[in-house]
Amino acid sequence: MTNSEDQEQNAVLNEEYKIWKKAVPVLYSHITTYKPLLSEPLNASGENAVPKKGQELCTFTFENILAPVVEQANSGVCSSTVYYSRGKTLYSFDVNLPQGLLTQDTSLISPISVPSATALKLTNEYKVISTNDKHEYVKIKKLPQHQLLSLDTGNNLTWNHCVSKNVSMTYECENTGAPVTDFEIYKTEMIATSSGEIIDYKTAKQLSNLKIPQGVFASVHTQQQAPRFKNTNELVYINNDGTQLLSADTRASTASTSPVINYSKTADYTPNSKFTCFDHSHLAETLFVTGSTDGLIKVWDSRMATTPVHTLFHTQNENSTSAGVSKIQFKPNSPMEFLSVCADYGFIYQWNLEPLVNYQQSLAARPAEDADEMEITELDNEELNSRCLKYVHTSGSRRKRSKTVSKLENQTTNSSGSMGSAEKRQIMLNQCEWNPYMDDVVGCLDNDGTLVVYKGWFGQQK
């Protein structure tokens, strides 16, 4: 590698490292906020009411195909549909984003030092898709053929037609004594719920109930994660005490499970560290990433699951073990990139494991006589963490949840099994996902229902 190439690479690494070192990163390629004022009826002043924190659930999902993206000629922007729920009503509306975000070349987009917020009153721009008479919406996901799948607080899965607004099917999940808070879809063919049910997408017929015990409910993670599909027949889920990832065969009426990762048997396991969430790479079959109650993110290779490949950490947790990881989601079109959510602060971290893989490959390629110099030091771990960490999105204090508020919310949780304010807040906190057609663009919800669509600034070659 030439000196000029070294200088360019170091310039990028230094820029990324400086951003990582900031307590509150403020460099964005682009950020847009939408705060739909959708409540009915109008309040006394004649304006729509804004949802109060912890009272109304808000969820969202992006359109999952490229076709709805309409480039507006000579305007420099493109628009796409977002599906959004607030309380008991489902809406759709268009969001406008720069055409430049459609490219993967970040050097074409200049950063801004302060996020610019564009609040829109969507009085004539939103469409009501459906209204639920009894229950609030917990999660929504776009399906093909103009279908929208939704889960509500009554444990009902509902298929809505986005155009005709008709309800084609409703399926009531098994009553387990606790709210069903999550579902996972496999290629629009099968659905797995957080209660352990496997449902046929085409007929909404229950194929099997895996009798999966209730997942870990750590103090920082009140929502149970649905099992994740590895393929048509195999599900992976967290066991009851948060110490293992188990694999289950969906073809059996009673789950036949086998350990994928046994955290409790690893050398670095501590009793106060429990799995809270996980995801596997969509393109690298054996790559798993788990989040835990102590705020650590562990990278695993299922072929060598006796010890994690590496341990990452949220920058806010470097000297603290209180803020856990509440969500992990791999990027759909990348084998190595994923995002994670800090359970107490709501910060969204974007990671890329390529620097870690490259570093380990370089170590493996060293001559045997250098083996004594190959031990990774604590400083190396910090450097690797900074190189793997692409970006941190804080969204100011709108997503932050203090320990005091968290404690008060947990005290108000309804003991009858219905969803309390703590569960609602955690669902809101975990509402973030990758945009499927714009590289490195992420959407998330703030505490007040504001939808934020952003792209972080990852450094620029000088």
Task: Supply the CATH number for residue 328's domain.
Answer: 2.130.10.10
Q: Where are the alpha helices (DSSP H) in 325-402?
A: 354-364, 378-388
CB 190 within 8 A of CB 183: no
Give the pLDDT band (50/70/90) at residue 123.
Answer: very low
The answer to whether the CB of 42 falls within 8 A of the CB of 65 is no
Split at pLDDT 50, 70, 90, the class of 268 is confident
- Answer whether 266's CB lies under 8 Å from 231's CB: no
Give residue 335's pLDDT band: very low, low, confident or very high (50, 70, 90).
Answer: very high
pLDDT value of residue 40: 46
| Residue 214 clears pLDDT 80, i.e. is over it | no
> What residues contact 405, with CB distance under 8 A and at least 6 apart?
none
Which one is predicted more confidently, 313 or 53?
313
Residue 313: domain span: 3-456
Which pLDDT band, with edges at 50, 70 and 90, does 74 fall under?
low
In this structure, of 51-60, 115-124, 231-240, 371-380, the range with the lowest mean pLDDT score is 115-124
Report which of residues 193 and 305 the model is more confident about: 193
Check pLDDT > 70 for residue 121: no
Residue 12 clears pLDDT 70, i.e. is over it = no
Do the domain assignments include residue 462? no
Q: Does 294 reside within a domain?
A: yes
Taking residues 177-181, report their average pLDDT.
80
0.85 surpassed by pTM: no
Q: Which of 7-11, 199-203, 273-277, 327-331 has the highest mean pLDDT?
A: 327-331
CB 88 within 8 A of CB 136: yes
Nearest to 412 by CA among 425, 401, 399, 402: 425
Note the pLDDT of residue 364: 74
In this prediction, residues 128-152 reach a mean pLDDT of 91
**Beta strand ranges found along 314-450 (DSSP E):** 325-330, 337-342, 348-352, 389-393, 432-434, 441-445
387-408 mean pLDDT: 66
Question: What confidence score (pLDDT) does residue 13 get?
Answer: 46
What is the domain count for the chain?
1
Average the pLDDT over each of 147-161, 239-253, 377-391, 401-415 and give the range with the smallest value. Answer: 401-415
In percent, the amount of the chain with pLDDT more than 90 equals 19
Average pLDDT of 275-287? 91
Task: Please give the average per-residue pLDDT across 333-348, as a whole number.
Answer: 90
Mean pLDDT of 383-387: 86
Instruction: Report the percentage of the chain scoring pLDDT > 70.
Output: 67
Find the mean pLDDT for residues 342-349: 86
Q: Considering the chain, what is the average pLDDT of its residues?
A: 75
- Between the ranges 86-95, 197-206, 392-401, where is the mean pLDDT highest? 86-95
Show the 3-state SS of 141-202: EEECCCEEEEEECCCEEEEEECCCCCEEEEEECCCCCCCCCCEEEECCCEEEECCCEEEECC
Confidence of residue 113 (pLDDT cuts 50, 70, 90): very low
pLDDT score, position 93: 87
| Contact status, residue 246 vs residue 263, Cβ threshold 8 Å | no
Q: Across residues 56-63, what is the average pLDDT?
A: 91
Residue with tokens 């609602």: 424
Q: Which tops the pLDDT comparison, 321 or 444?
A: 444
Residues 8/98, Cβ–Cβ less than 8 Å: no
If you average pLDDT over each of 21-25, 59-63, 79-83, 341-345, which comes out highest?
Answer: 59-63
Category of 42 on φ-ψ map: left (φ > 0), alpha (ψ -120 to 50) or beta: beta
Sign of CA dihedral 12, 14, 19, 21: positive
Residue 173 falls within a domain, yes or no? yes
pLDDT exceeds 60 at position 367: yes
Whether 373 shows a pLDDT value over 80: the answer reads no
Instruction: Indicate whether 158 belongs to any domain.
Output: yes
Q: Is the pLDDT of residue 117 over 60?
A: no
The verdict on residue 461 lying in a domain is no
Beta carbons of 84 and 58 less than 8 angstroms apart = yes
